[in-house]
Structure 1
Amino acid sequence: MVAVKKRETPVEAVESPAKRGKASVTEGMAAEAVEAPPSSPTSAMVVRTVVRESHNEPITRVLFNRTKAGNSSNLFATVGGNQCTVYDSRHFGAFVGMVVHYVHPEGEGELTCLAWSELGGQSAHPKGDEEVAVGTSAGDVLVISVVEAAVTKKLVGHAKPVTHVASSAARPGRLLTLSRDGTARLWSVSEERCLAVFEVGAATSSIAWSPSGGWFVAGTSSGALQQWFVPESLEEGQQEAYVKKVAGESFRKLQQEGGAGLHREEIDCVVFAGRGFAGRQRVVTKSVDGRISAWDAPDASDANDQVTQRGSWKVPGSIKCYSRLDATSDGAYIACGNSGGQVFVYDARGGDCVAKLEPHRLRQEVTCCAISDDHQDVISTLGDGYLFRYRHLPPELVAKKLEKEREEAEQAEAKGNNGGE
């Protein structure tokens, strides 16, 4: 394998997908008006933009930027095949703008997963930067700078494909990765070195790092939940050990209460979604049978190892569906797709399904979903590189649509009264 040199891996940076032609974009509405959409998702959301990425492979992850700085919440990123793309969802009207397009060199594997990296003021750029960490099938992790439009760091250590990458607001400059080699690794991005190896086992299928940074949740192929502790001493710049293995007493099984929401199949997705009761972290988990559960999990310092179920949903039409869900930062809404291309948005506070969104023609499995923190965008990916962006129509377009439907109904009624002539 040819080593990637810092700041020398080419990444395409473009202003608009229409200018470069790297992704084909179909816009559902030609006219754009000032939008005043509802403040919450509803079934009235429609497909406003369709993107076909040029790799022609399933998009395995789509994720809005939710880093602590929050200055670039308009950005979302995708990964699929040998490509990682960063989009702007706010400054191109009804369209999405392509900001960065990275193509992984041929023969060096595919890109498998991604996460937005927490910089915490560590960027050397005067106006700040955003970074996307991307896992590869070769076991490496690439860190892409949005400002430089280049791979600036490469983390090497896993022996098998990286399946999950996670960051924590409380641990800027750190990344947590999960690999099929049965380990999770904690990295110092700036030093490009591994700080700790967590021997989580090959049965671990998904992870999510808590916002507090002191622990992470691991879901397993049997539907169990584990809580792994991240030692704080690793953040103190200790250099005596290049790699510190962490096992044994460093994790505990979380005892799930509430039989109706127990996972009995592989947990393919875990996300954190704000705070729950008594200040506990709210964890949302999904298994491949379409079962979604929301839990209040104990902190690392809490001797109680039980998680309390706060909600449970069954996504219709999900049979062995590996579909990554998403939740807003405040934990208000959860979005998940099914095997038939539909997307369901749930109100996590009340448990109601507030939106059922239908795809445009395609009826294939939704590989992943994303929902913006302002509740205005819902994104789903399906098929070979298709991305669907759902939004509410502006009031002006809704009025035109209703007027057109009224006219068509009047014409049909008149035709019926004239005997079909």
Structure 2
Amino acid sequence: MSGTGSPLKREREEAGTTSSEEDYFTPASSASPSPSKKPKSPSSNDAESQDNTSSDATVAAAVATNRSEQLEAIFKNLRLRRIVKENHASEINQMAFCLNHRHNRTPFGLDHVKVFEKRGSVKRDPWDNSNILGTTGGPQANIYDNEHCGDHLDIMSHFLLDPVGEEGAEELPEMLTCCWIHQPQDTILATAGTGKTIHILSLARSKELVRLSGHNHSVTDIHAHPTKDEYLLSASKDGSVRMWNILTGKCLVIFEIKASVVCFNPTTEGRTFLTGGYNGEIRHWTVPDFNSEPEEPIVVPASESQMLFSNLHSARIDCIRFAKDKVLSKSVNGKVEYWDPETLVQIRTFSIKNTASNQCRFDVSLDQLFFCVGTSNGSVYIYNIESGKTVTELKHRRSTKAIRTCIFARDSRTVVCGGEDSFIWRYDYVTDETLNEWANWKPEP
């Protein structure tokens, strides 16, 4: 699929700054050493190449293992530090940090080190908006600052998404899904739900920019395109998945499938995507190529998709995510399957502990080594994807209702979740020294 190109790319090209991004984001410490100038004999090339490849693989495996162990130690030290009550007092159906993967190269996980200014706010590069948290539930989308106001989740703005002007709308809609989209000089939150309409909200302008209309039933999932900042994918109960241009408001493609969730494949730069169905089936789709956007939506029937699995899941699929070229898919009965999309080999099954049937969107850490998922009794589990083991359970006695969504922060030292009770629960990393102080604390006589 070809398009007009990223608005941000065009903006930088016009300003003549296309090469400065690398200079800005690449620290001096990450520069690669100069290659050796010593010539090698032809006979030794193959053997040395094999030795180097083997050595590199061994080192990479050791580094990955060490990082996993360090992150597991961090996850085991997560403790509940903040609770925020949403003002809409409804279920929180989805939340997302504005991580801006494509345009922001700020380190993540163990490599992410926060530097604080004198006033206590965090220094960050201008493209890093990962402190911004969006939540959706009831008839609202709320946006929080997770960083600049100390350790508080400070409300930045909220949008009441009323159905004024929508045909047949008699009551306030419930927002079921949301995602972030980058635009030059702005950050966009897209959200949708039972109102059939997709709302495009501008954080910089603090207003709704456009409504995408075309679905005639609830929109259950939306997903931003991994390389085209103006494209969005949506799944609806009306039996269609649609791809949109959020700048023009046009529907570009209609895929004839009743899917509960969608997920672009980042390894194909958005040329393909997966859908998960209400009956547990998983299909692979290819986005049509077009040099210019069509005047009328291109219709792609289900017969042009590829059925990957018809019985991998025995219940409705409520979340699909990619992790290191593999796929994690979850169904509402508490099963998460880890599988290879090329060979269709099932690598591992995760059975979520202590949970009944529950819809919850899980999240994969930015290093793609772990995922977190909520349960029906208010707890969150973190799993090591490669080893399959349970790392820890995040639980508090006050959290007893079903968790609908949970996410990792950029530095993997915070996990935020929410759900049925309309509370946002934030678990933060606490050092061993602080935990020991808490354990040994005694009230003064």
Query: Equivalent of 1:210, from 247, 265, 268?
Result: 265
Q: CA deviation at 1:92?
A: 2.3
Alignment of 1:134-173 (within 5 A): 134-173=191-230
Q: CA deviation at 1:248?
A: 4.2
More strand by share: 1
* CA distance in structure 1 between the partners assigned to 2:316 and 2:328 by the alignment: 14
How far, CA to CA, are the matches of 2:160 and 2:302 in structure 1? 40
Q: Deviations over 1:257-307 (max 9, x none)?
A: xx9xx322221111223x2xxxxx322111111111122213xxxxxxx42
Aligned to 2:176: 112
State the match for 1:310 in structure 2: 347
For the aligned residue pairs, the C-alpha RMSD in angstroms reads 2.2
Aligned match of 2:376 in 316, 335, 339?
339
1:383 aligns with 2:409: no
Once the two structures are superposed, residues 198-251 of structure 1 have per-residue CA deviations (whole angstroms, 9 ceiling, x without a partner) of 0013xx221111222011111112222111111132xx2234x32111114431
Over 3 Å counting, the alpha-carbon distance change for 1:88 and 1:396 in structure 2 is farther
1:297 corresponds in structure 2 to 341
Would the aligned equivalents of 2:212 and 2:250 in 1 still touch at CA under 8 Å? yes
Q: What are the within-5 Å matches in structure 2 for residues 5-404 of structure 1?
A: 39-40=71-72, 41-67=74-100, 68-70=102-104, 71-105=128-162, 107-119=171-183, 123=184, 128-201=185-258, 204-211=259-266, 212-233=269-290, 236-239=291-294, 241-255=295-309, 262-273=312-323, 275=324, 281-298=325-342, 306-394=343-431, 397-404=434-441
**Partners in 2 of 1:372 and 1:294 — Cα distance?**
22
Say whether the 8 Å CA contact 2:255–2:302 is kept in structure 1. Answer: no
Structure 2: gaps of 5 or more residues: 1-69, 105-127, 164-170
Q: Distance in 2 between matches of 1:220 and 1:327?
A: 21
Q: Partner letter of residue 199 of structure 1?
A: E
Structure 1 runs not aligned, ≥5 long:
1-37, 276-280, 299-305, 412-421
**Contact 1:118–1:169 at 8 Å: present in 2 too?**
no
Amino acid at match of 1:112: L
What secondary structure does 1:307 align onto?
coil
- Deviations 1:363-407, CA, capped at 9 Å, x for gaps: 111111111232111111133311100012245633421321xx5
Find the aligned partners of 2:263 and 2:411 in 1 and give their Cα distance.
22
Aligned AA (2:363): D
What amino acid does structure 2 have at the position aligned with 1:196?
A: V
What amino acid sits opposite 1:400 in the alignment?
Answer: E
Structure 1 residue 131 displacement after superposition = 0.7
SS of 1:231's equivalent in the other structure is coil
Partner-residue secondary structure (3-state), 1:297? coil
Larger helix share, 1 or 2: 2
AA aligned opposite 1:253: M
Counterpart residue identity of residue 252, structure 1: Q
* DSSP-derived class of the 2:345 partner: strand
- CA–CA separation in structure 1 for the residues paired with 2:419 and 2:175: 17
Q: Secondary structure at the match of 2:357?
A: coil
What number of residue pairs does the alignment pair up?
342
Do the aligned residues in 2 keep the contact of 1:111 with 1:135 (CA within 8 Å)?
A: yes
Tell me by how many angstroms 1:108 deviates. Answer: 4.5
Change (3 A) 1:172 1:252: same
- Partner secondary structure for residue 75 of structure 2: coil
Per the TM alignment, residue 339 of structure 1 is displaced from its structure 2 partner at its CA by 1.1
Runs of 4+ in structure 1 deviating by more than 4 angstroms, as ranges, are 38-41
User: Secondary structure, in 3 states, of the residue corresponding to 2:348?
Assistant: strand
The answer as to whether partners of 1:282 and 1:331 remain within 8 angstroms in 2 is: no
Residues of 2 paired with 1:232 and 1:46: CA distance? Answer: 48
2:316 is aligned with what amino acid? E
In the aligned structure 1, how far is the partner of 2:276 from the partner of 2:189?
23
1:96-140, Cα deviation, whole Å (9 max, x unpaired)? 122221112264422221011243xxx2xxxx2211101131211
Retained in 1: the 8 A contact 2:93–2:419?
A: no
Please report how far the alpha carbon of residue 360 of structure 1 lies from its aligned counterpart in structure 2 after TM superposition. Answer: 4.2
User: In 1, Cα distance between the equivalents of 2:193 and 2:315?
Assistant: 26
Distance 1:102 1:58 in 2: 16
